[in-house]
């Protein structure tokens, strides 16, 4: 029974990883680079949610208190986090993807947006550290500790809600990529940006949309993280994102469904290894698995070889 309980916990934890993994996989699949602003945006959304709920935003706390009252500040938190992250994503797009192409041919040119996104990661982390400090920040969950149990297996209700929510968001997203006009444009850009321009895709307008979508994915999962685990700090993004990267690679780079399954699997693997071999050793199975996959089957379980082979 305990094992099943651990599997359930792992599935819930995987729900957090799924959205971040999907964000990573979208950027890699569409734009061909590893976006290190994703951990920053995730962390920033989580911290903003915490700050709004506890009234420690740099400004505007009184206004939020006036409009939403103490009990409904979590709604304000969601709004603040989503809006801020969407705006931040646009700024980030301006300074990363736009400069992807180096003026002089250079083998490390594909690293340019990677390096800029690391720059943004540093900016966000130190902004949070200098505003809220580097200690863990704890907020009380607005929904309490509601649980639901089948037999002896306990489900936490906020976690079920967030797992369902993240799955719905991701399913909608993958339908969008498959079926809509925007999705078709995205796939064209993923195939070859130059040809996409010739085919009449407005790359300069579509790429910001990708950034905002991934930014919102991070923001939603960051907000859910604060509600579920109630403790955040400036470095929470790094921890979550590194595991999410493992999930993404497992599913195959650029593959949305792969990222979903990979994220859930990695969540379960993490919880199971903590349960079986202890918290300190839990890293080894995850990263060992990642290393093995990268070396022997770099396309992951469901990935296709096209994306990420040329430039990256």
Partner 1 sequence: MSGYLESQLIILCLSIIYAYGIFLPAASGQLNLGAAGFITLGAYASAWFNASTGAELPIWLSVFLAMLFTGGIAFLISFPILRTRGVYMVLATFAFAEVVAGIVINVEELGAAAGMPVDGHLDVTVIVPVTIFVILFCFYFMSTRLGVALRSIHDDENVATLFGVNVRAAKVAAFTVGAMLMSLGGSLYGHHYNYIEAQTFNVLLSIYILLYVLMGGTQTAWGPLIGAVFFITVPEAIRGVAESAGIGWLAEGRFMLFGAFIVLLMVFRPEGVMTRTLQDRMSGAILRRKQTSIDDAAVRS
Q: Which residues bind partner 1 (CB under 8 A)?
A: 28, 32-34, 36, 95, 99, 102-116, 118-123, 126-127, 129-130, 238, 242, 245-246, 249, 253, 280-284, 286-288, 290-291, 294-295, 298, 308, 311-312
Q: What is the Cα–Cα distance from 306 to 222, expressed in whole angstroms?
A: 31
Element (H, E) at 232: strand 231-232
Q: What is the Cα–Cα distance from 260 to 22, expressed in whole angstroms?
A: 7
Query: Do 54 and 230 form a contact (C-beta atoms < 8 A)?
Result: no
For partner 1, give the closer residue by CB, 130 or 147: 130
Residue 7 Cβ, how far from partner 1 at the closest point, in Å? 22
Query: Do 143 and 71 form a contact (C-beta atoms < 8 A)?
Result: no
| Residue with the two structure tokens 């976690």 | 159
Residue 276 Cβ, how far from partner 1 at the closest point, in Å? 13
For partner 1, give the closer residue by CB, 77 or 113: 113
Q: Is the dihedral of CA 289, 294, 298, 303 positive or negative?
A: positive
Work out the burial of residue 184: count CB atoms within 10 Å of its CB; fewer than 13 is exposed, 13-18 middle, 19 or more buried.
middle
For partner 1, give the closer residue by CB, 80 or 253: 253
Tell me the sheet residues that pair with 231: 138
Tell me the sheet residues that pair with 156: 147
For partner 1, give the closer residue by CB, 245 or 268: 245
Residue 79 Cβ, how far from partner 1 at the closest point, in Å? 25
For partner 1, give the closer residue by CB, 50 or 120: 120
Residue 115 Cβ, how far from partner 1 at the closest point, in Å? 5
Please tell me the total number of residues recorded for the chain in this structure.
312
* Residue 192: other Cβ atoms inside 10 A: 13
Residue 16 Cβ, how far from partner 1 at the closest point, in Å? 19
For partner 1, give the closer residue by CB, 218 or 241: 241
Residue 111 Cβ, how far from partner 1 at the closest point, in Å? 6
Q: What is the Cα–Cα distance from 178 to 292, expressed in whole angstroms?
A: 31
């Amino acid at each position: 029974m305990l094992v099943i309980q651990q599997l359930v916990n792992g599935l819930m934890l995987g729900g957090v990883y799924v959205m971040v993994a999907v964000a990573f996989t979208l950027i890699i699949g569409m734009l061909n680079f590893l976006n290190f602003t994703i951990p920053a945006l995730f962390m920033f959304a989580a911290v903003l949610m915490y700050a709004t709920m506890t009234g420690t935003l740099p400004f505007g706390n009184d206004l939020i208190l006036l409009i939403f009252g103490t009990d409904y500040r979590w709604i304000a938190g969601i709004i603040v986090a989503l809006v801020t992250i969407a705006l931040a994503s646009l700024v980030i797009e301006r300074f990363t993807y736009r400069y992807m192409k180096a003026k002089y041919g250079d083998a490390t040119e594909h690293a340019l947006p990677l390096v800029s996104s690391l720059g943004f990661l540093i900016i966000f982390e130190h902004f949070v550290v200098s505003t809220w400090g580097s200690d863990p920040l704890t907020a009380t969950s607005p929904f309490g500790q509601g649980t639901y149990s089948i037999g002896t297996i306990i489900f936490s209700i906020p976690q079920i809600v967030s797992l369902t929510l993240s799955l719905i968001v991701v399913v909608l997203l993958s339908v969008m990529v498959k079926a809509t006009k925007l999705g078709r444009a995205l796939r064209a850009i993923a195939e070859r940006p130059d040809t996409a321009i010739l085919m009449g895709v407005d790359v300069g307008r579509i790429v910001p949309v990708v950034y905002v979508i991934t930014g919102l994915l991070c923001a939603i999962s960051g907000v859910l993280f604060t509600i579920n685990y109630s403790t955040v700090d400036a470095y929470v993004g790094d921890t979550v994102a590194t595991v999410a990267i493992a999930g993404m690679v497992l599913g195959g780079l650029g593959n949305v469904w792969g990222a979903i399954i990979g994220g859930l699997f990695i969540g379960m693997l993490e919880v199971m290894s903590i349960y079986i071999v202890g918290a300190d050793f839990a890293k080894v199975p995850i990263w060992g698995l990642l290393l093995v996959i990268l070396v022997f089957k770099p396309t992951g379980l469901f990935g296709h070889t096209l994306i990420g082979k040329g430039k990256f």
